[in-house]
Structure 1
Amino acid sequence: MIRGSENAGRGPLYRLYIQRLRRQLGRGRVPHHVAMMIDGNRRWAKQLGLESVAHGHRAGAAKMHEFLGWCDDVGVGVVSLYLLSMDNLQKRDTKEIEDLIEIIAELADELSHQRDWRVQPVGRSDLLPPELARVLASAAERTRGNTGLHVNLAVGYGGRGEIVDAVRSIISQHHKDGGSLEELAASLTPEQIGEHLYTGGQPDPDLVIRTSGEQRLSDFLLWQSAHSEFYFVEALGPDLREVDFLRAIRDFGTRNRRFGS
């Protein structure tokens, strides 16, 4: 499902429409776990003629901070943000990655002081620059006891790699317990793999949102999104508005989830 982002203002009519959408949400289902793929930051910066795409990434990070507030306000319990993939970490221009790493570190630190949110990095921290890994670990430790919105920050993340790491973890644990390969093969279940993912113990995302009109997963939460609903917004990441988010939540509430059929 694709929904456009009109160039409406922020005047009285807009605020009335926001209030109407919020009332409609009160009568429908709100997803417990929302996964967000923030996309289009680079295009946003280039379209505005900005001197560096870092301006787009910084605007996208500010929008994600705002987005989390929207989620918290409507009762979403878990949000997963796709901030930096393993592919981007390895393939993007070095200067862009350096800027993006700094922006992500700032965002993680800010979120760790926001409300009663709990911040959890998901990804390969061992492959990240040491300073970014340190900031992410500090944010996680600082918020470990918080009981508010659970925020997963996917940094240095790849869905295929996550599944491989989960299987490796299961094999390692089975070997420590003295089990045989035959026993492992006979006992392996999807639930067991799910428990060893980076998001182990969390509910799978009910709704996956992607900005900029792109309609692909890009190696994000491949295992967890097997039964997720998808919603694609045409607005570039920094241009995402609360009305776009509320429409996505409203649309989710109208869907008949079949879970595999």
Structure 2
Amino acid sequence: MTSSKSERSPTSHQNDQTCVGLVPTHVAIIMDGNGRWATRRGLPRLAGHRAGTENIRPITFKAAELGIRYLTLWAFSTENWRRPREEVDGLMQILSEVIERETEELHRHGAQLRHIGSLEGLSPALQQKIRNAIELTKHNDRIVLTIAFNYGGRAEIVHAIRRIVSEGIPPEAIDEATVERYLYTAGIPEPDFVIRTSGELRTSNFLLWQAAYAEYYFTPTLWPDFTPEEFETAIRDFQRRERRFGGLCNPVRSLTASEPCASAP
């Protein structure tokens, strides 16, 4: 297998906004802790999920302000179908409400909306709302906001393999670039930085292929309490990291994706 150029996103770039220095091109967030947030307040779990949606706009605007070009938020996993039916139905309703409530405002601020995951299992009405939001915002270029809904990393890879096989691509012609073209995220740079809220220390089947070289940031803060200020703190933490990509880097300077490390022996 050969490495594709797209495997290394133009990860860090100079930013002249609040966070002085290199900022990640693509940040992905595992929005975890909504249920616990509600439980601690004696509220039903769906109240926590609704509270979590209030964070989408301020975090997106903060990311755009800092010069981050891609933001991916994981809202519903393929494994979440195992939750009680009442909660699943509630999550579908919440997504529908969020699309209605947020799309115009995000569009007005230059956000392009995308979806990764499978639309199968979603109601026709919800599928159409998602498509309409994508169509409305497709020419915006301030920030690309991708919502991972009904998404799982393993399912994505299986889906890509099935498409490759169905198109009759010979094994010897398949390399990393081939696989990437068939992923849900085709055309989106790999995440440089993955944030997980709620204190859980695992990747949970999120962007398994794409986040191979991502930096991770884990915070005990529950997602509804995760503020734009803490988001900026996380970005400052990223700016102090050394990204090696499996090689050796000069420890006294920052590295961008266009400056590959020397290969490790």
Please report how far the alpha carbon of residue 250 of structure 1 lies from its aligned counterpart in structure 2 after TM superposition: 0.4
Using the alignment, how far apart are the partners of 2:131 and 2:214 within structure 1? Answer: 28
What SS does structure 1 have at the residue aligned with 2:22?
Answer: coil
Using the alignment, how far apart are the partners of 2:227 and 2:60 within structure 1? Answer: 12
Letter in 2 for 1:237: W
Task: Indicate yes or no: 2:131 matched with 1:137.
Answer: yes
Give the equivalent residue in structure 1 for 2:86.
Answer: 95
TM-score (norm 2): 0.83
Task: Indicate yes or no: 2:22 matched with 1:29.
Answer: yes
Give the equivalent residue in structure 2 for 1:48.
Answer: 41
What SS does structure 1 have at the residue aligned with 2:204?
Answer: coil
Please report how far the alpha carbon of residue 117 of structure 1 lies from its aligned counterpart in structure 2 after TM superposition: 0.8
**How many pairs align?**
228
User: Please, which of 44, 49, 53 is the counterpart of residue 61 of structure 1?
Assistant: 53
Please report how far the alpha carbon of residue 64 of structure 1 lies from its aligned counterpart in structure 2 after TM superposition: 2.1
Task: Indicate yes or no: 2:216 matched with 1:230.
Answer: yes
Using the alignment, how far apart are the partners of 2:111 and 2:197 within structure 1? Answer: 24
Matches within 5 A, 1:1-261: 23=18, 25-26=19-20, 28-50=21-43, 52-88=44-80, 90-113=81-104, 114=106, 115-173=109-167, 175=168, 184-261=170-247
Using the alignment, how far apart are the partners of 1:111 and 1:219 within structure 2? Answer: 27
Please report how far the alpha carbon of residue 242 of structure 1 lies from its aligned counterpart in structure 2 after TM superposition: 2.2
Using the alignment, how far apart are the partners of 1:132 and 1:121 within structure 2? Answer: 12
Please report how far the alpha carbon of residue 100 of structure 1 lies from its aligned counterpart in structure 2 after TM superposition: 1.0
Contact 1:38 1:81 (C-alpha < 8 Å) held by counterparts: yes
RMSD: 1.3
Using the alignment, how far apart are the partners of 1:129 and 1:221 within structure 2? Answer: 25
Contact 1:233 1:244 (C-alpha < 8 Å) held by counterparts: no
User: What's the CA shift string for 1:209-235, capped at 9, x where partnerless?
Assistant: 000001111111100000000001111
User: What's the CA shift string for 1:45-85, capped at 9, x where partnerless?
Assistant: 010011x2111001101112221111111111001110000
Letter in 1 for 2:32: D
What SS does structure 2 have at the residue aligned with 1:225?
Answer: coil
User: What's the CA shift string for 1:181-226, capped at 9, x where partnerless?
Assistant: xxx1111101110111111011100000000001111111100000
Please report how far the alpha carbon of residue 163 of structure 1 lies from its aligned counterpart in structure 2 after TM superposition: 0.6
TM-score (norm 1): 0.84
Using the alignment, how far apart are the partners of 2:102 and 2:215 within structure 1? Answer: 26
Contact 1:111 1:119 (C-alpha < 8 Å) held by counterparts: no
What SS does structure 2 have at the residue aligned with 1:197?
Answer: coil
Using the alignment, how far apart are the partners of 1:53 and 1:239 within structure 2? Answer: 15
Query: Which structure 2 segments of 5+ residues have no match?
Result: 1-16, 248-265
Letter in 1 for 2:138: R
Using the alignment, how far apart are the partners of 1:193 and 1:62 within structure 2? Answer: 35
Please report how far the alpha carbon of residue 102 of structure 1 lies from its aligned counterpart in structure 2 after TM superposition: 1.2
Structure 1 segments, 4+ long, off by >4 Å, are none
Name the structure where helix makes up a greater proportion of residues. 1
User: What's the CA shift string for 1:85-123, capped at 9, x where partnerless?
Assistant: 0110x2011111111111112223334211111111111
Query: Which structure 1 segments of 5+ residues have no match?
Result: 1-21
What SS does structure 1 have at the residue aligned with 2:212?
Answer: helix
Give the equivalent residue in structure 2 for 1:8.
Answer: none
Letter in 2 for 1:49: G
